Amino acid sequence: MGVATLLNLEDLNVHYGAIWALKGVNLTVGEGEIVSLIGANGAGKSTTLRAISGVVKASSGGISFQGEDITKVPAHDIVKKGIAQVPEGRRVFANLSVLENLELGAYIRRDTRGIKRDLDDVLDRFPRLKERIGQVAGTLSGGEQQMLAIGRALMTRPKLMLLDEPSMGLAPLLVKEIFSIIREINEEGTTILLVEQNARMALQVASRAYVLETGRIVLDGLAKELAMNEDVKKAYLGG
């Protein structure tokens, strides 16, 4: 492939009690790529991201990042290694201001100058957040909260960003805007693993994609080829 592997999941299994949520998942993300993970609700997409970020534990199999085994590394240490997750449903701190939310994104960092520079960059990228810098996050619109969640993740200076359903609950115009932001972030050097129900958008923005069904990867390949695949069209692209 010619691209250095940043993230590698090997035969990953996750159980929630008696429920076998991920069944032998193999997946790689190369440096600089956008890789999409598509599938129906309950297929295990969010579980995959949570396992990578250390929020749920793997029952067996391995996760490596930049060649290092991170399968048993606690979630807060995974952030320090350069993996940031933008969770499903945004999960901004509703009672804190926009600025406080962004500052919390940088809690593991000590480079005051760099933090200030990144904060300026985030506010330049999201002018609406700049306008609402002192506003309580809970009063922002859904789209603004999504921008804040992405901005907060950017404040960790991630090498890999895990995006969980960024378009959920947003109006079509805002979805377009969020996806062009995702593209920009990637072009500036952040690798992205994207979980998204809007399969059409997910396949447009990604270079490669995986299809997950009931905890198993059933298809993978170049995003544009999967977008032409009859089974994928039927199941996820409405025809």
Q: What is the pLDDT of residue 239?
A: 58
Where does 87-166 show beta strands of DSSP type E? 160-164
Contacts of 104 (CB under 8 A, 6+ apart): 93, 96, 152, 155
Q: How far apart are CA 139 and CA 152, in angstroms?
A: 17
Q: What is the pLDDT of residue 130?
A: 97
pLDDT per 10-residue tile (average), the chain, 239 residues: 88 95 98 96 94 96 97 94 91 95 93 96 95 96 94 96 94 92 96 95 96 96 96 86
Q: What is the pLDDT of residue 2?
A: 67
The conformational region for residue 42 under phi > 0 = left, psi -120 to 50 = alpha, else beta, is left
Identify the CA nearest to 63 among candidates 43, 83, 80, 44. Answer: 83
For residue 36, the SS3 value is strand
User: What's the CATH class of domain 5-236?
Assistant: alpha beta
Could you tell me the residue ranges of all domains in the chain? 5-236
What does the block give as tokens for 205? 């923005």
Helix (H) or strand (E) holding 202: helix 199-205
